[in-house]
Amino acid sequence: MNTQGEIILRAEALAKGFTIGTARVEVLCGADILVRAGKSVSIRGESGCGKTTLLNILSRMENPDSGLLQWQGREVAQIRPARLARERGRFMGMVFQSYYLVPELDVIGNVLLAAKVAGMKADKARARELLERVGLKERLFASPLTLSGGERQRVAVARALMNRPALMLADEPTGNLDEKSGAVVMDMLLAICAEQGASLVLVTHNRAFAARADESLVLHDGRLIPA
Amino acid sequence: MPWYLQLALRQLFPKGRRWPSFFFLLSVLGVSLGVMILVITQSVMGGFDKEHNAKMIMTSGHADVNAGGSVMHNSGALIAAISARPETLAAVPYAQGIVMLTHGNHPAFPFIRGLDLSQPRQVVPVGELLIAGDIADMDDDAVLLSSRLSQAIGAWVGSTVEVYTPLMIEKLKADEVMLPRRLRVCGIYETGWTPFDSNTMVCSLPLMQDLYELGDGIHGISILLRDERDESVWKYARSLGAELGRSQRVQTWMDMNRDFLWVLALEKNMMMFLMLFIILVASFAIAAAQLLTVLRKTREIGLLEAMGARPLHLGLLYCFQGFFIGLAGTLLGMAGAVLALHYRDPVIATLAAITQSQAALEQFYQFSHLPVYYDPADFILISIATLTISTLAGLIPAIRAAYMKPAEALRSE
Ligand SMILES: Nc1ncnc2c1ncn2[C@@H]1O[C@H](COP(=O)(O)OP(=O)(O)O)[C@@H](O)[C@H]1O
Ligand SMILES: [Mg+2]
């Protein structure tokens, strides 16, 4: 385990359960994670074991039942609810399995939207540069609906990096892609995060992809254990 | 431009497509239909109002001085005084009553009014209302008949009709010989105002005074004013009333037609009440379409929150869409209403032909064509109401969007 560098994300003893009808399901019970600046961590686990739930808690889109969560050393529970969304938008970028591009906006519009929504400067040059980096130089003004799955996910990666986030969360980013385009997206994701100095938490089913991270974890029985 | 306004516009008019979004078109259509119906009914009701008022004034003048049905004698000075007022355009003395009229074996009991036709400026423009005959041929042995009356008794210009007055019937009781007065029909008039057209006739004042044995007596003076605004008419009536003796009174056309005007006002208020439901239906159309959009875009809302969107801005995103739909619907609806009203005659003719109801339309609505009056106040009121309601209709989905938990939104299917 690497012990160098600023701690970007720290979570300790996270617990989260859901009540469905009368049944109680404990999804997380005592999950710990530590992510340092510029490092990547991969998480594998069976379907339905709570990986998405964990990422939702790390991004504070969902509240844990108990446990500690810090973003760059700041206690997330201390952030005023009114400020939370904006803090999140500036601190982290997210990539989802199903891209979630806004179909009414063009490719560059989608990337710029991330900056505008988070109340940051809509830097066209940066958006262009990121899209060039993911190989979409020719498609800046295309509608997302005309792109392939792999291309859409590359737009989503560029969008997630637009605000120079310290942390990237990627939830099965290649889950909907075929092997070849999945590999392209994964290469780019890892490379760009490294270039931009963003830490990465990557949820994936693919062992090979998981092995490329600086640290590999498995979510099992509500805990994160080294692979 | 803030991102939520930009995105709202983009969602209404997606980039790279020639047409606005289907939901936008559907909502705009709903609102514009509501606005269209509102504008049409208000303008037609306003048109009926104006037309009714104009007909009432045409048949009775703006104001009327009378003694409550009693005969007024030696009224020359009074007429001169009224005529001398600067506001007065015309002042015409009249006498009136009911007679029995026969032509062949067709009897009728019309209302008759004797007008001083020697006055240079008439209050009731009988000459212009003639559909047959010539006012120049009028003398003290001639009458003018309303169009329906002439039809009812089968008389036309040149016919001779016989008139019996109540006085003659009184004499009959006293066993005197009763001879009807034989009069020439000199003209047929039509005002388009059914109460007036159905059963009235007009003669000269001397003939009426003779028939009713009034001597120089009259029943009243009809007055036409230069300034016909309601306030001016009221003011005139007050100042003239203050000058008159106790036995005389001044009535405006609004006093004389009070019952009818009350019914009209009631009708208009009822219409307004019914129209409220149309506004409601239109706003439901917006709310439903907006709600559909929010449901369709649940995950997008989750994404925006994940990217740091403030709930207020998410709310504004949908409120603005509602406002914009309202704006487009208002403009389109008003344009549609004006267009439909412009071509109302062929539309109504077609409808009437299909339902074979032209005759009924004329009989019950008193006008052979649909009157329209555009009141700017109606347009302003309808715009404000529609914009307010459509923005509020956007509020329901906006609140839903603002309070959605991002994690749940992203999980939703
Ligand atoms: N909002 C929720 N309400 C009830 N159960 C939930 C909710 N979110 C997740 N779960 C449950 O939590 C478990 C973990 O889900 P998830 O985190 O999506 O798994 P993974 O991403 O690893 O496939 C599943 O059993 C799921 O049904
Ligand atoms: Mg998942």
State the DSSP string of B266-280: HHHHHHHHHHHHHHH
Q: What is the mean pLDDT of residues A127-136?
A: 94
Q: For residue range B1-33, what is the model confidence (pLDDT) as tens digits?
A: 889 998 888 888 876 667 777 778 888 888 888
Q: What is the mean pLDDT of residues A106-117?
A: 94
What one-character-per-residue DSSP string does B5-23 give?
Answer: HHHHHHHHS-TT-SS--HH
Interface predicted TM-score (ipTM) of this complex, two decimals: 0.88
Cα-to-centroid distance, A20 and ligand 1 (Å):
11
Proximal ligand: closest to the CA of B406: 1
Instruction: Show me where the domains of chain A are located.
Output: 40-62+80-226
Task: Give the SS3 label for residue B176.
Answer: coil
Q: Name the average pLDDT for chain A.
A: 93
pLDDT, position B361: 63
pLDDT, position A39: 94
Whether B366 shows a pLDDT value over 60: the answer reads no
Q: For residue range B227-285, what is the model confidence (pLDDT) as tens digits?
A: 988 899 999 999 999 988 788 899 999 999 899 889 888 887 788 778 777 767 767 77
pLDDT, position A3: 63
pLDDT, position A224: 94
Q: For residue range A69-90, what is the model confidence (pLDDT) as tens digits?
A: 999 999 999 999 888 888 998 9
Q: For residue range A172-202, what is the model confidence (pLDDT) as tens digits?
A: 999 999 999 999 999 999 999 999 999 999 9
Q: What is the CATH number of domain A40-62+80-226?
A: 3.40.50.300
pLDDT, position B210: 93
Whether A156 shows a pLDDT value over 80: the answer reads yes
Contact call for A100 and B303, based on CB within 8 A: yes
pLDDT, position B15: 67
Cα-to-centroid distance, A203 and ligand 1 (Å):
15
Gap from B302 CA to chain A (nearest CA, Å): 9
Q: Does residue B247 or residue A39 have the better pLDDT?
A: A39
Q: For residue range B124-140, what is the model confidence (pLDDT) as tens digits?
A: 898 889 999 999 999 99
Neighbours of A97 (CB within 10 A): 16
Q: Which amino acid is at A113?
A: L
Q: Both tokens of residue B21?
A: 């979004």
pLDDT range class, residue B41, cuts 50, 70, 90: confident
Gap from B317 CA to chain A (nearest CA, Å): 12
Q: What is the mean pLDDT of residues A35-58?
A: 94
Helical H segments across B74-134, by residue range: 76-84, 126-129
Q: Does residue B91 or residue B357 have the better pLDDT?
A: B91
Helical H segments across chain A, by residue range: 51-58, 81-91, 107-117, 124-133, 149-161, 179-196, 207-211
Residue among A127, A126, A117, A113 nearest A87 (CA): A117
Among A106, A116, A155, pick the best mutation site for testing chain B contact (most B Cβ within 10 A). A116
Residue of chain A whose Cα is closest to the Cα of B317: A117
Instruction: Show me where the domains of chain B are located.
Output: 3-54+261-411, 63-227
Q: What residues are in contact with ligand 1 under a 6 Å CB criterion?
A: A 18, 20, 25, 27, 45, 47-53; B 408
